[in-house]
């Protein structure tokens, strides 16, 4: 399917405009997997640049052909996958496919391990496919594509949750500090009781 162009972050170019079908490939870097894709523009967003000549108007128009290819390794590929996988998986999935996707994530060892696991399974999937070993994400089993989509979103949610927990830990530390100060102050019993309640709430008691 032809994907709607959207400018996305890139670790080297700043931003890039993906083009064509993404391919899952192994990586020699720590995370062990990567996504290769074409692009029609890479670098600064032309829409953010001032118009100095009529040619600048043409530069802002989306290009309809591939001008280069890039490889996004591991976590660098996540923003791209969070955009492209819902488009590839467009149309939803049957409950059996969802269950198979969950099972594949468990088999991989969790969402953070799914990319490495899927890259290693590519040849096995290709052997059972009529498309051959293209590596295209659109050509791997539907349950695996759905699992990949769930994995990149679940991993993002986990990271967000870790951030929330860090903030909560800071709140706990602040509550401890306030309580310690309160113990040294001649505060009315009602105020001390309220501070104690807030401290207990921050601990989830």
Mean pLDDT of 41-45: 68
Mean pLDDT of 130-147: 79
194 or 141: which carries more pLDDT confidence? 141
Q: Does the structure show a pLDDT above 90 at 46?
A: no
**Whole-angstrom Cα distance, residue 80 to residue 54?**
31
**Whole-angstrom Cα distance, residue 196 to residue 123?**
60
**Whole-angstrom Cα distance, residue 173 to residue 204?**
14
Q: Does the structure show a pLDDT above 90 at 50?
A: no
Contact call for residues 146 and 101 (beta carbons, < 8 A): yes
Phi-psi domain of 4 (left: phi exceeds 0; alpha: psi -120 through 50; beta: other): beta
Return the pLDDT at 199: 60
Residues 6+ apart with CB under 8 A from 133: 122, 123, 126
Residue written as token pair 């104690």: 196
Mean pLDDT of 154-164: 51
Q: Does the structure show a pLDDT above 50 at 164?
A: no
Q: Give per-residue pLDDT as tens, 6-37.
A: 788 899 888 898 988 899 999 998 899 999 99
Mean pLDDT of 182-202: 60
Contact call for residues 85 and 137 (beta carbons, < 8 A): yes
Q: Does the structure show a pLDDT above 80 at 1?
A: no
**Whole-angstrom Cα distance, residue 146 to residue 44?**
32
24 forms bridges with which residues in the sheet?
35
Query: How high is the mean pLDDT of the chain?
Result: 76
Q: Which of 68, 61, 105, 76 is nearest to 12 (CA)?
A: 76
Beta strands per DSSP E along the chain: 8-10, 14-26, 33-43, 68-73
């Amino acid at each position: 399917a032809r994907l709607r162009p959207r400018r996305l972050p890139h670790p080297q170019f700043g931003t890039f405009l993906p083009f064509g079908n993404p391919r899952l490939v192994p990586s020699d870097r720590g995370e062990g997997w990567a996504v290769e894709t074409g692009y029609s523009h890479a670098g600064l967003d032309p829409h953010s640049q001032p118009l100095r000549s009529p040619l600048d108007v043409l530069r802002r128009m989306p290009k309809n052909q591939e001008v280069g290819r890039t490889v996004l390794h591991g976590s660098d590929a996540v923003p791209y996958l969070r955009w492209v996988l819902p488009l590839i998986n467009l149309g939803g999935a049957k409950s059996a496919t969802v269950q198979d996707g969950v099972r594949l994530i468990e088999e991989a060892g969790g969402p953070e391990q799914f990319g490495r696991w899927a890259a290693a399974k590519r040849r096995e999937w290709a052997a059972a496919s009529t498309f051959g070993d293209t590596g295209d994400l659109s050509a791997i089993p539907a349950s695996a594509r759905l699992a990949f989509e769930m994995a990149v979103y679940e991993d993002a949610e986990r990271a967000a949750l870790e951030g929330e927990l860090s903030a909560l830990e800071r709140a706990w530390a602040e509550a401890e500090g306030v309580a310690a100060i309160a113990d040294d102050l001649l505060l009315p019993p009602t105020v001390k009781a309220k501070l104690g309640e807030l401290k207990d709430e921050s601990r989830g008691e």
